[in-house]
Chain A
Amino acid sequence: MSDKKLLLGSSPHTFSPVDTPRIMLSVVIALVPATAYGIYLYGLSALGVVVTSIVAAVLSEFVFRKIIKASTTVGDFSAVVTGLLLALILPPSTPLWMVALGAIFAIVVAKEFFGGLGANPFNPALIGRAFLLMSFPAAITTWTMPKGLPLAADAVSAATPLNLLKQGSTLADVANYFGASDVGTFYRQLFMGYRSGCIGESSILLVFLGGLFLLGIGVIQWIVPVSVLASTFVFSWLLGMDPLLGLLTGGIVFGAFFMATDYATRPMTAYGQALFGIGIGLITVLIRKYGGYPEGVTYAILIMNTLTPFLNKLRPKKYGFVPPPKPVKPSKEVAK
C-alpha cells in the first residue's frame, strides 16, 4: 500500500452528468431558432438588443459578485439565459442603453440581491422587462413591422395584434393590417410568426419546437406549459374571447415554455406546478380582457411567482404514507 491519498466521502460515489451549466446551455440552444428568426425578421437592431442584453447580464453578474466578494458564477451560464430571455421579450427597436439597464436590473436587483441563482423569488428576465415597461412605457410599446410587411400609411410605428384588438378592431381588420387575406391565413401567419411583436416570441412554431426540445431532453416538464396553455385557452373561451387567437398572439407560448418553467420561481412539486400554470393562464386572460395593458403574461407569471413558496407545500404523498390516527371524539363519551 502506498502513501497515496484515496478519496473518501459519503455515498453516492457516482453522479449524473447533467449539471447546472449543461441545463442552462440547453435552454440557450432551445432558444437559438427563435432568436435567429427574430434577427432575420427585424434585422440588425434585434441582433443589437440580443447581444447587448447578454453582455450586460453576464458582466453585471460578474462585477456585482466581485464587489460583494462572492464566488464567480458566470460559468453556470444562468446570466446568459437571463440576458437572452430578456432580449427576446423586448421590442426590436428598444434603445440599447435601455436594454443594458434592464439586464443589469434583472441580474443585480432581481437575482443577486436575493442571493443569486436559485434564491430569487421572481423571474429576473420578467422583472427586467416589467422595470423597463414601467420606466419607459413608450419605448417598450413601440413595435416594428417584420421584414417585407409595409407599415400602415399614416402610422409612425406598428401595432401588435393584441394592441389592435384592445383598441376594438375586429379580427378581420387585424388580419388585413398584417396583409392576410382572411382570418384562416392570419392564424397560419401568426403561427409562423409573421407579425409585429417582441424579438423572440413571434414565431409560435419555433418557440414551440424549442419547448419540445427542452421537454424531450427532460430539462423542463410538461405540467407547467400544458397547464398554462390549457388554462389560457379555457379562460379565454369562458370570457368570450377567441381562445385560439389567445394562444397564437402575445407571449403566452413563449411564457409557458421559457418563463413559467424557470426553476427558481416555479413550484417544485407536481400539484403546485399545475395550480401555478392554471393561475398564470387565468391572470393573463383577466389582464387581456379587463386590464389596462393589451398583454398580461409578464405580470401573470410575476404574480404567480409570489405564490410559489406556498404552492411548494402541495407535496406528493410520501411512500407508505399512513394517515395519522384520528383523535377519539370526546362527544361519544358524553353520549353514553
Chain B
Amino acid sequence: MSIKTFKGGVHPPERKDRSQNMPIEKVASVPQVVIPVNQHFGAPIQPLVKVGEYVKAGQKIADAEGRMTVPVHASVAGVVKKIEPRMQSNNLEGLCIVIEPKEPPEGESAQEFMPPLDPFAVSKEEALARIRAAGIVGMGGAGFPAHVKLAPTKPILCVIANAAECEPYLTIDERTLIETPEKVVDGVAIVMKTVNAPEGVIAIEENKKHAIPYVQKAIEANPQVKAGMKIRIQELRTKYPQGGEKMLITAITGKQVPSGGLPMDVGCVVSNVGTLCAIVDAFRQGKPLIERGFTVTGGACKTPKNLVAPIGTLVSDLAKAGVVEIDEDALGKVIFGGPMMGVALPSYEIPVQKNTSGVLLMSKQEAVQYEEQTCIRCGRCIRACPTSISPALLAIAIESGNYAEAEKIGLLDCIECGTCSFVCPAHRHLVQRFRVGKQVLRALKQKEAQNVR
C-alpha cells in the first residue's frame, strides 16, 4: 500500500506517547454538567427547559427551527439548576444549562433515548432527520452540523473517515480505532449509504500504523462490506495539518477543493472518527450525542489518559474527583483541542463540549511564549503553507492595509492551521494576523456590498 500525503506541512514533535497506550476510560459520575446551548456552527438555538425542571439523560433541552441548527440534549438525568452565561471552550461566555444529577422518581427511567433505527433500511431523509435529532456535529473541532454535511447537493464518490489525528498530543481517535474499530467501519458504511457513495476510505497516519490490523479485521467482518460495499484503509505520511479536511482530500484523491468551494465539489465527504461513532450510536442505540471521548494530557497532567465523559463535564470536576491529576505548580496553559489549533483558556473550569477532542494541560516549560521579532524573509512559511498562500507576503499586505492584495494572495483561503507561525524562526504572529485580517476583509466586503446597493 502506497503512503500518501499532501504538499507542504510540518511534523511537530508528536508527544502522543504518554496517552496512546491508555485504554479509554469512562467517567462514571459527575457532580454537575454545564452544557453550552450553542455548540454547533450555524444559527443560534434556545433552551427548551426551565430552572428546576427534571430532565432525563438524552432528553432534548435546546433547539430551534432552521437548517443550520442542531439540538442539544441533557447528558445526565437530573435537575436543571441554572441557565446562565458561562465560559465555554471557545473562550467566550455563552448561555449554558447547568444540570445536577439526581435519581429519577420511582418507577421511571433515567434515560430517554430514541428507538433504534436500521440505517440501511431507511430513506435518506429519515437518516438525516435521525442524525439531526441526535444532535450530531463535526467532532473533530469545527462543530459543523452533520445533517447538513451529509446532505450534499453534488454526487459523492468517496467518504473519508478522518483518523489522521495530526495534532500532537491527541490520541483519542487512535484509541477508538484500536478499541472499537467495528464501530468506525459501521459509521463509514452508514455515511456511505446516506450520501450514496461507492467508496469509503479510512485515513490513518503512519504513526498509528499499529491500529491498521484492527481496522482491517473490522472491515473484513463488516456485514455491509461482505455484501459488496467498498471500504479500504489509506495510510498517510505523518504530517500536520493532514487532518484538515482539504488537506486530507488532497492527500487521498490528489484533487484540490476549489477556492471558496466545499468537499462535495470534488465528490468527497469527510467525517471524523468521533462523529462516525456518534452516528452509529444514534442509529443502533437511538442515543443522542451526550458523551464523547477526548484525551487529557500535557506536561502538567500527572495522569495522561483517554476519557469518555458526559458533554458538559467540567475539567475542574474531573480534577476534584481525582480522575485527572493536575500539577498546579507546573501548569502554564490550559488548551481545549490540540496545541496547533486549540484554544487557550483562562482556567480549567470549562465544560467538555461536542467538539472537544482533547484537554491539554501544558506545563510552563511547554507553554513558552516568544517575543515577536522582525521577519528575516527566510521563506519557511511559504514552503510549509499547505494552501500555498505565501504567509510572509500575505502578512506584509495585511500590515500595510492592502486588503485587495491580501485577498488576491488568498487570505480567505487560509485554513488557520498555524503551520506558518509554528515554523517562523522570528516567531511572527502570522496565522494570528490572518485570523484578524479575514474578519477585517469580510467586514470591508460587506460594507462594499451595502454601498453598491
Interface residues of A (CB under 8 A from B): 1-2, 4, 6-16, 18-20, 22-23, 76, 78, 115-119, 221, 263-264, 268-269, 312, 315-322
Contact = CB atoms under 8 A, between A and B. Distances in A.
A320 B253 CA distance: 13
A10 B435 CA distance: 9
Contact of A20 (B362, B373, B413): B373
Contact of B422 (A6, A10, A12, A269): A12
Interface residues of B, number: 71
19 contacts: A6-B334, A8-B344, A10-B344, A10-B432, A11-B339, A11-B342, A11-B343, A12-B340, A12-B421, A16-B423, A20-B376, A263-B377, A264-B377, A268-B379, A268-B390, A316-B388, A319-B387, A319-B389, A322-B260
B344 A13 contact: yes
B414 to A, nearest CB: 10
Interface string B104-147: 00000000000000000000000000000000000000000000
B347 A14 contact: no
B418 interface: yes
Q: Interface majority SS on B: helix, strand, loop or mixed?
A: loop
Interface string B210-235: 00000000000000000000000000
Contacts of A18: 380, 423, 425
Given A10-B432, A318-B410, A322-B258, A15 B370 contact: yes
Contact of A14 (B339, B386, B426): B339
Q: Say what secondary structure dominates the interface of chain A.
A: loop
Given A268-B379, A268-B382, A11 B373 contact: no
Interface in B331-386: 331-335, 337, 339-349, 360, 362, 366-370, 373-380, 382-383, 386
Interface of B: 10, 12-13, 91, 168, 246, 250, 256-261, 316, 328, 331-335, 337, 339-349, 360, 362, 366-370, 373-380, 382-383, 386-390, 392-393, 409-410, 413, 418, 421-427, 429, 431-432, 435
A14 B369 CA distance: 9
Contacts of B425: 16, 18-20, 22-23
A18 B427 CA distance: 10
Nearest to A10: B432
A320 B328 contact: no
Contacts of B343: 11
Interface centre among A2, A19, A115, A268 (most CB of B within 10 A): A268
Given A318-B410, A319-B246, A319-B256, A20 B334 contact: no
A22 B424 CA distance: 12
Contact of A268 (B340, B346, B393): B393
Contacts of A118: 374-377, 426
Contact of B378 (A6, A23, A319, A320): A23
Given A13-B367, A16-B423, A318 B344 contact: no
